[in-house]
């Protein structure tokens, strides 16, 4: 894609400075630009350009507090599965002590969201109206056992004749172990092709049976219980497909766009949740930039996935907004694997970056001497399309897309640092 970047000085007309990252600061005048931007939104995606960054966690906490207190948002959706979120919700709402987080969340969840979660717990216990956590995503460990346990409880009451099929799936599913997708993918690859195909087949059979016998199931349980069980079965099925996609990637047989299954599941699950919540409910989706953007994700010219933000935008129109979070520093945390001694199978280390290329929002901020400031660039202001940004940092690489089409605003921080309390 050829950059159509206008003179970089123009970004000053669309960028406003932000005073602080501190989520405990309750002066929100510097974030008011976001209020008008999200006025019609049912769901707002708040991103990050890389995992395990201290400053991104603080930025997302402060932005979320603004959306909750000033704009009436009621729920926080994270890159977690439903079972993970249900367990974590107890701690976020005050159960246990502040130091007990590891009893409610795995090391990867703590690495991804530890700073944000600690802020959210403090916010909830300090306010009369607690914000609820939801998990519309696949399990971030890419394991399926918790979903199958939930499914067994449900099917035991409505369709015991199919438990033998579920038992066969459980026998194979419990072999997918690990604290991260890296480890789960390794476990998946260690299974024989026949067992992998058999597990997929059993889950497909259960899914089709649940759909076709819906009327029978509703004779024994409520519609809500049926829909919840179906979400868990869909999660298990999509997780297996993600593992298969990852194995293809590791073996050099990746199919372009194959990982869209994860984002489609997250988006459709989130939309189903919206339909069940009170009409005034509004959700902040806190996820990586690549999941909240509206345009397809591609690297080196090859389609990686259609992200959750794409499906949410198609479904909600102006009811979905996306706020990317990036940085103008010279290095960034990156994941290196394999790391056999790590509890998650990888380590996060700071990696030096090459100079930001022409066409990137980071380059424009640097050349406009805004790279030492906290800024919000409003891409919905009249005339913002002329900026022509066509790339932005993503981990240690660059995502190439029309940023005007992908996001509604871009929050930038001048410095990034590796989270000091990573449990791996």
DSSP string, 81-146: -HHHHHHHHHHHTT-S-GGGGGGTS-HHHHHHHHHHHHHHHHHHHHSSSPPEEE--S--TT---HH
| Residue 343 DSSP symbol | T
> Measured in whole angstroms, how far is the alpha carbon of residue 373 from the centre of its chain?
26
pLDDT of residue 92: 97
Domain boundaries, the chain: 8-73+282-413, 145-259
Phi-psi region of 277 (alpha: psi -120 to 50; beta: other; left: phi over 0): beta
Torsion of the alpha carbons at 276, 278, 284 and 289, rounded to the nearest 10: 30
CATH architecture of 8-73+282-413: 3-Layer(aba) Sandwich (3.40)
Relative orientation angle of helices 145-158 and 163-173, to the nearest 10 degrees: 170
pLDDT of residue 12: 94
Q: Going residue by residue through the chain, which has 424 residues, state the pLDDT in tens, using 9 for 90 and above.
A: 444 444 444 899 999 999 999 999 999 999 999 999 999 999 999 999 999 999 999 999 999 999 999 999 999 999 999 999 999 999 999 999 999 999 999 999 999 999 999 999 999 999 988 999 999 999 999 999 999 999 999 999 999 999 999 999 999 999 999 999 999 999 999 999 999 999 999 999 999 999 999 999 999 999 999 999 999 999 999 999 999 999 888 888 889 999 999 999 999 999 999 999 999 999 999 999 999 999 999 998 899 999 999 999 999 999 999 999 999 999 999 999 999 999 999 999 999 999 999 999 999 999 999 999 999 999 999 999 989 999 999 999 999 999 999 999 999 999 999 999 999 9
pLDDT of residue 7: 44
CB neighbour class for 390 (10 Å; exposed up to 12, middle 13-18, buried from 19)? buried
**Distance (Å, rounded) from C-alpha 199 to C-alpha 195?**
6
| Residue 38 DSSP symbol | T
Cα 200-196-231 angle, rounded to 5 deg: 35
State the residue for tokens 């092709």: 193
Question: Are the C-beta atoms of residues 359 and 401 closer than 8 Å to each other?
Answer: no
Question: Are the C-beta atoms of residues 223 and 154 closer than 8 Å to each other?
Answer: no
Instruction: Give the Cβ contact number of residue 422 at 10 Å.
Output: 19
Instruction: Give the Cβ contact number of residue 130 at 10 Å.
Output: 17
**Distance (Å, rounded) from C-alpha 291 to C-alpha 304?**
11
pLDDT of residue 300: 84
pLDDT of residue 251: 84
Per-residue tokens: 397: 């690489």
pLDDT of residue 247: 87
Three-class DSSP category at 337:
coil
Three-class DSSP category at 393:
strand
**Distance (Å, rounded) from C-alpha 334 to C-alpha 353?**
11
**Distance (Å, rounded) from C-alpha 124 to C-alpha 25?**
16
Q: What is the pTM of this model?
A: 0.96
**Distance (Å, rounded) from C-alpha 286 to C-alpha 48?**
8
Integer Rg of the chain from CA: 22
């Amino acid at each position: 894609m050829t950059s159509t970047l206008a003179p970089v000085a123009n970004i000053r007309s669309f960028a406003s400075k932000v005073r602080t990252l501190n989520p405990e600061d309750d002066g929100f005048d510097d974030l008011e630009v976001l209020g008008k931007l999200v006025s019609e939104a049912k769901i707002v995606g708040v991103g990050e350009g890389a995992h395990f960054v201290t400053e991104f966690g603080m930025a997302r906490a402060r932005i979320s507090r603004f959306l909750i207190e000033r704009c009436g948002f009621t729920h926080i959706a994270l890159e977690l599965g439903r079972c993970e979120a249900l367990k974590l919700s107890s701690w976020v709402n005050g159960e246990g002590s502040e130091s007990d987080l590891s009893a409610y969340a795995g090391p990867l969840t703590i690495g991804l969201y530890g700073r944000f979660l600690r802020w959210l717990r403090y916010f909830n216990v300090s306010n009369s109206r607690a914000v609820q956590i939801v998990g519309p995503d696949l399990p971030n460990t890419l394991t399926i056992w918790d979903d199958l346990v939930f499914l067994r409880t449900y099917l035991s009451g409505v369709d015991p004749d199919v438990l033998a099929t579920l038992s066969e799936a459980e026998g194979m599913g419990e072999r997918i172990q690990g604290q991260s997708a890296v480890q789960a993918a390794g476990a998946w690859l260690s299974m024989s092709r026949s067992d992998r195909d058999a597990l997929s087949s059993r889950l497909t059979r259960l899914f089709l049976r649940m759909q076709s016998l819906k009327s029978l199931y509703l004779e024994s349980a409520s519609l809500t219980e049926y829909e919840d069980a179906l979400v868990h079965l869909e999660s298990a099925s999509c997780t297996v497909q993600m593992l298969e996609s990852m194995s293809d990637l590791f073996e050099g047989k990746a199919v372009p766009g194959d990982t869209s299954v994860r984002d489609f599941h997250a988006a459709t699950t989130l939309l189903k949740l919206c339909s069940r919540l009170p009409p005034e409910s509004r959700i902040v989706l806190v996820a990586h930039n690549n999941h909240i953007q509206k345009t397809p994700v591609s690297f080196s010219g090859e389609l990686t996935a259609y992200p959750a933000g794409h499906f949410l935008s198609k479904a909600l129109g102006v009811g979905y907004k996306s706020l990317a979070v990036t940085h103008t520093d010279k290095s960034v945390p990156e994941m290196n694997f394999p790391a056999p001694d790590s509890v998650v199978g990888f380590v996060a280390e700071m990696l030096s970056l090459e100079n930001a290329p022409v066409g990137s929002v980071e380059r424009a901020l640097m050349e406009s001497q805004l790279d030492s400031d906290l800024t919000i660039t409003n891409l919905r202001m009249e005339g913002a399309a002329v900026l022509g940004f066509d790339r932005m940092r993503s981990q240690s690489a660059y995502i190439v897309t029309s940023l005007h089409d992908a996001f509604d605003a871009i929050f930038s921080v001048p410095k990034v640092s590796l989270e000091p309390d990573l449990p791996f």
